């Protein structure tokens, strides 16, 4: 599995330090607000579970499963809800937790959905931002790393459901998906 990685971008230690920084900032900004943190499955699983443990205050968690990449490295353009929330977002302060903002389609869809459902506020915490991939104009409020225009895997991010369990984030060798 590790042989398929062209270059390691962020080590386990670098990621842990960044996640701690993000958690500390969220704790400060949301003091007394009991935010609802919504993890976007499946890519955000590892980031979400690490992030919430860096917030030393009350938070609630829920998950939504949406998918638009399937087994490809480019977005299909269509965001599909595979699992909806269990919690009502009406009147709540929402923090959407994402592994990466690339085209922005997933977040554009979710922000509009939660606004329609009358959330009090909607913020985005993304471990990575890939500005060169952007098609929809979305901006994350909390960003860990700004990544180059390459397909990255690890720490929750997959290619065709593989590599999510890599403890670091790296660029996938193009020969793995180019045939």
Ligand X SMILES: O=P(O)(O)OC[C@H]1O[C@H](OP(=O)(O)OP(=O)(O)O)[C@H](O)[C@@H]1O
Query: Could you say whether residue 69 binds ligand HPA (CB under 6 A)?
Result: yes
Q: How far is the CB of 143 from ligand X (least distance, A)?
A: 13
Instruction: Confirm whether 102 is a catalytic residue.
Output: yes
Query: Could you say whether residue 157 binds ligand HPA (CB under 6 A)?
Result: yes
Query: Could you say whether residue 152 binds ligand HPA (CB under 6 A)?
Result: yes
Query: Could you say whether residue 102 binds ligand HPA (CB under 6 A)?
Result: yes
Residue whose CB is less far from ligand HPA, 119 or 157: 157
Angle, alpha carbons 42-46-47 (nearest 5°): 105
Residue whose CB is less far from ligand HPA, 60 or 71: 71
Q: Are 60 and 37 in contact (CB under 8 A)?
A: yes
Between β-strands 169-172 and 5-10, what pairing exists: parallel, antiparallel or unpaired?
antiparallel
Of 39, 51, 158, 163, the one binding Mg ion (CB under 5 A) is 158
The 8-class DSSP code of residue 176 comes to G
SS3 category, 52: helix
Q: Which helix (H) or strand (E) holds 27?
A: helix 12-29
Tokens representing 163 are: 């590599």
Query: Could you say whether residue 5 binds ligand HPA (CB under 6 A)?
Result: no
Q: What amino acid positions are annotated as catalytic residues?
A: 102
């Amino acid at each position: 599995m590790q042989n398929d990685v062209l270059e390691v971008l962020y080590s386990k230690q670098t990621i842990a330090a960044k996640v701690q920084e993000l958690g500390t900032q969220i704790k400060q900004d949301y003091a007394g607000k009991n935010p609802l943190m919504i993890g976007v499955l499946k890519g955000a699983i590892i980031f979400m579970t690490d992030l919430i443990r860096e917030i030393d205050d009350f938070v609630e968690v829920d998950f939504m499963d949406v998918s638009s990449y399937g087994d490809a490295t480019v977005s299909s353009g269509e965001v599909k809800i595979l699992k909806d929330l269990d919690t009502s977002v009406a009147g709540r302060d929402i923090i959407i937790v994402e592994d990466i903002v690339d085209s922005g389609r997933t977040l554009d869809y979710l922000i509009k959905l939660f606004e329609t459902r009358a959330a009090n506020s909607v913020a985005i915490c993304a471990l990575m931002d890939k500005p060169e991939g952007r098609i929809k104009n979305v901006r994350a409020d909390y960003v860990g790393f700004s990544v180059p225009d390459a397909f990255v895997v690890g720490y929750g991010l997959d290619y065709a459901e593989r590599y999510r369990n890599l403890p670091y984030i790296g660029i996938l060798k193009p020969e793995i998906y180019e045939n």
